[in-house]
Amino acid sequence: MAEVARRAGVGMATPYRNFPRRHELLEALCVDEVDALCAAAGEVPGDTPDARLEAWLRRFVTWFTAKHAIAGALLEHTDRDNPVFDGLQRRSTSQTSTAGRPA
């Protein structure tokens, strides 16, 4: 939490006021990151669907590699039946499955 406060440029009490327990902070980070990744599915460059899929998969692998530690820590502090995981799965499959399709 000290590192979060330092990077955000806020006092030590601010993270605890918004996230009383560590796993709540990890959940919020995970939700924000998955939402950003899903939104990126509609913004990837490429002239063909294959090129866009490849670009998004590269972005996903980069994201997954960087965020693996957060996911591991989240799983250590919460139950796999936590509703946050179902919500993330629903959002990621619904948003990425329709991204890039013609309206």
Q: What is the pLDDT of residue 40?
A: 79
Q: Residue 103 is encoded by which pair of tokens?
A: 């309206």
Helix (H, G, I), strand (E, B) or coil at 32: helix
The whole-model pTM stands at: 0.55
Angle 50-42-63 (CA atoms, 0-180°, nearest 5)?
Answer: 85
User: pLDDT tens, 31-59?
Assistant: 777 788 778 777 888 889 898 888 888 88
Give pairs for 36-40: CB < 8 Å, separation 24+: 37/63, 37/92, 38/91, 38/92, 38/95, 38/96, 38/99, 39/95
pLDDT class of 82 with cuts at 50, 70, 90: low
* 53-75 residues labelled b (16+ CB within 10 A) or e (exposed): eebbeeeeeeeeeebeeeeebbe
